[in-house]
Amino acid sequence: MNKNIIRPYGDTLNDGKMQLSFSLPVSADAFGKEAARMLLLQMGFEDAEITGMRDLREGFTHFIAYAVTSTGIDTDKIKVKVVETPVMDMEATDEYISEHLSRQITVVGACIESDAHTVGIDAIMNMKGFNHRYGLERYHGFNAINMGAQVPCEELLARARAEQADVILVSQVVTQKNIHIKNLTKLIELAEAEGLRDKMLFICGGPRISHELAIELGYDAGFGTGTYSTDVASFIAITLAKN
């Protein structure tokens, strides 16, 4: 076997053991259990064992299962897109900006369209920041404008144009029915139509956003869960300096 092929690990190398959990619209009995097992077999698992079965009522049942997959991944073929700029703290970023750009960077941020949850954009932009990392407002090197929640794409772009922004920062927390994809696509399409796309950096963030998804949607970068203001600030400073 190719030594670059990896498989799930239970307690023995390459045993292929996986833990699964899902619900089905079936009764919690032998019939339901068999339905769950068959589903796993059809998915290509071997040795599917239903180890837990919980009646969710109203005709639904929750299953916990262990199963073996024979699938493996060739690590040579893995390609990921990640933000590769180094992360600096606030003081270092401010110093970097004054050294390389010798002016303030204007960032206009918002939760766009239907999204009313400002927790993400606030954590990155507001003075107080999050978990001992101050937000962009606190940086000397940034002119940070947080437009808050439910900002229509048109308004965000208009403000960015008026402020001659260097960066647009968008947060999308609500992701039900992939609403975040629709909103983010709308913004980038409008920006292109208005000729703003190449005039500034477009960055998005949120719990279900990855750098890869962001690139795919036409953004310059995407930041997911666990991102701090320092990550975003460093990326912006270094990318703008390079440009």
- Site for another protein, rule CB under 8 A: 21-23, 54, 56-58, 60, 62, 114-119, 122, 126-128, 131, 148-150, 174-177, 179, 207, 225-226
Q: Which residues touch 114 (CB under 8 Å, ≥6 apart)?
A: 150, 174, 179, 183
**Is 128 annotated as catalytic?**
yes
Q: Give, as one character, the DSSP assignment of residue 86.
A: P
Alpha carbons 178 and 161: distance in angstroms, whole number: 28
Write the CB contacts of 57 (distance below 8 Å, at least 6 apart in sequence): none
In single-letter form, the type of residue at position 211 comes to H
Nearer to another protein, 23 or 75 (CB): 23
Q: Token pair of 4, please?
A: 């670059």
Nearest-angstrom CA–CA distance, 24 and 66:
16
- Which of the residues 3, 33, 81, 128 is marked catalytic? 128
**CB closer to another protein out of 177 and 242:** 177
Minimum CB–partner distance for residue 10 and another protein (Å):
16
Cβ nearer to another protein, comparing 27 with 175: 175
In the complex, the smallest distance separating the C-beta of residue 118 from another protein, rounded to whole angstroms, is: 8
- The phi-psi region of residue 230 (left if phi > 0; otherwise alpha if psi is between -120 and 50; otherwise beta) is alpha
Q: C-beta of 100: minimal distance to another protein in Å?
A: 31
Comparing CB distances to another protein, the nearer of 117 and 199 is: 117
Q: For the CB of residue 131, give the shortest distance to another protein in the complex, in Å.
A: 8
Kindly tell me the burial class for residue 79, based on how many C-beta atoms sit within 10 Å of its own C-beta (0-12, 13-18, 19 or more): exposed
Instruction: Give the catalytic positions in this structure.
Output: 128
